[in-house]
């Protein structure tokens, strides 16, 4: 089974904001080189979720885990992303597609927050 991870954020009109998700995808791919890792944006910038799922499939994925790069469970993670994923994955009926929970409350995120507090600028 060849796993793909599709990181999905909101998307932005600012290229540097979209590039951040690409950097996260590259870091995940470096940490777990046996996975296919791609990114997509829910809206405002390419690639969209459908293109991201297509890219995972064309790279040989048998299973895709869509990971919302969002902190909390809101309308985007509970309604919009599942709707877009369902529509896009309907074209790939033999591929298992699952959606992970948003990042949420995790002890490592608290560590990151505290690091940011310590590094705050004057």
| pLDDT tier at 81, thresholds 50, 70, 90 | very high
Q: How far apart are CA 71 and CA 74, in angstroms?
A: 9
Write down the pLDDT at residue 122. 79
Structural domains in the chain (count): 1
Q: Which of 57, 45, 41 is nearest to 7 (CA)?
A: 41
Alpha helices by DSSP H, listed for the chain, are 15-31, 49-58, 75, 81-89, 107-118
CATH number for the domain that contains residue 54 = 3.40.50.1400
- pLDDT at 1 > cutoff 90: no
Q: How far apart are CA 59 and CA 74, in angstroms?
A: 31
CA dihedral 92, 89, 69, 48 (to 10 degrees): 90
| pLDDT tier at 47, thresholds 50, 70, 90 | very high
Q: In which domain, by residue range, is 83 found?
A: 3-118
The DSSP symbol for 13 reads: S
Q: Which of 37, 49, 30 is nearest to 89 (CA)?
A: 49
């Amino acid at each position: 089974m060849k796993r793909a991870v599709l990181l999905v954020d909101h998307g932005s009109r600012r290229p540097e904001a979209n590039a951040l998700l690409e950097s996260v995808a590259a870091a995940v791919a470096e940490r777990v080189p046996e996975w296919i890792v791609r990114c997509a944006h829910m809206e405002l910038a390419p690639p969209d979720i459908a293109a991201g799922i297509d890219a995972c499939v064309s790279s040989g994925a048998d299973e895709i885990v869509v990971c919302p790069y969002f902190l909390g469970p809101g309308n985007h993670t509970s309604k919009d992303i599942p709707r877009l994923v369902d529509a896009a994955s309907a074209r790939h009926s033999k591929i298992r597609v699952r959606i992970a929970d948003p990042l949420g409350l995790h002890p490592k995120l608290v560590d990151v927050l505290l690091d940011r507090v310590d590094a705050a600028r004057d």
